Amino acid sequence: MVLSVRQVLEAVAELREASLQLVCWELNVPEFEARPAFERAIADGLLARRGVDDVHGEVMYALTDSGQRWLHGAS
């Protein structure tokens, strides 16, 4: 099962900030199922890089204003 952009955005919104790996852990899915939607959300400007996690060295992302609007406007 490949995740939708909505599922990725919901997970990031719930966590407030997340890496691809953290989204996968949160949703209990392998990375290959989340990567296409995660990368689409970045490409579409719905997620923006917020830094690198000091503990795990993972790039962290958060919803942009557009991501917030998309999530709340998507049905």
Q: Which CATH number do you get for residue 12?
A: 1.10.10.10
Total number of domains constituting the chain: 1
Residue range of the domain that includes 55: 5-73
**pTM of the prediction?**
0.90
Asked if 61 and 47 count as a contact pair (C-beta separation under 8 A), the reply is yes
CA dihedral 9, 68, 64, 11 (to 10 degrees): -20
Asked if 60 and 51 count as a contact pair (C-beta separation under 8 A), the reply is yes
Find the mean pLDDT for residues 46-63: 94
pLDDT tens for each residue of 14-45? 999 999 999 999 999 999 999 999 999 999 99
